[in-house]
């Protein structure tokens, strides 16, 4: 699927196709994660921006980052940290390639924000197996 189709598949719409890294709807928040950002050989899979970018980065001023920070705040406050996730192929410096919705029912696991700093927008997220709990 392409980037926009994947958001639509999960019931989200993008305000800015080229700039948005996340989206929200009344009952959820969806973020994108580049496969290249997942901590290698981690189980369960996880992403840690403190580990990926210990010295910060230019990306923190991009509109998509600023919006994602706002969306992550809502995910933590309104949904206990649960987020829908779209996994995106390609390196961080490359344009988006194929995108894949995380199918939490099929995988019997959901993504959860485990650590979040609203000031910097940095976060950790990890896959949490379901214990007979439904997806978002």
Residue 31 burial (CB < 10 Å; 0-12/13-18/19+)?
buried
**Predicted confidence band at 84 (pLDDT cuts at 50, 70, 90)?**
very high
Task: Render pLDDT for 21-64 as a digit per residue (tens, 0 to 9).
Answer: 999 999 999 999 998 888 878 788 999 999 988 887 778 888 99
E-assigned strand segments in 60-103: 82-88, 99-101
Statement: residue 17 has pLDDT above 90:
no
Mean pLDDT, residues 107-131: 94
Half-sphere exposure of 44 (CA within 13 A, CB side): 14
- Tokens read off for 56: 């910060």
């Amino acid at each position: 699927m392409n980037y926009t189709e994947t958001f639509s598949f999960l019931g989200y719409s993008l305000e800015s196709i080229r700039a948005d890294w996340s989206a929200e709807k009344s009952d959820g928040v969806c973020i994108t994660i580049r496969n290249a950002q997942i901590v290698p050989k981690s189980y369960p899979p996880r992403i840690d921006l403190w580990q990926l970018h210990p010295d910060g980065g230019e990306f923190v001023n991009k509109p998509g980052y600023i919006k994602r920070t706002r969306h992550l705040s809502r995910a933590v406050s309104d949904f206990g940290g649960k987020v829908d996730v779209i996994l995106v192929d390609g390196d961080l410096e490359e344009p988006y390639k194929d995108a894949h919705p995380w199918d939490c029912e099929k995988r019997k696991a959901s993504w959860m924000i485990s650590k979040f700093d609203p000031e910097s927008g940095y976060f950790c997220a990890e896959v949490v197996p379901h214990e007979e709990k439904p997806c978002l």
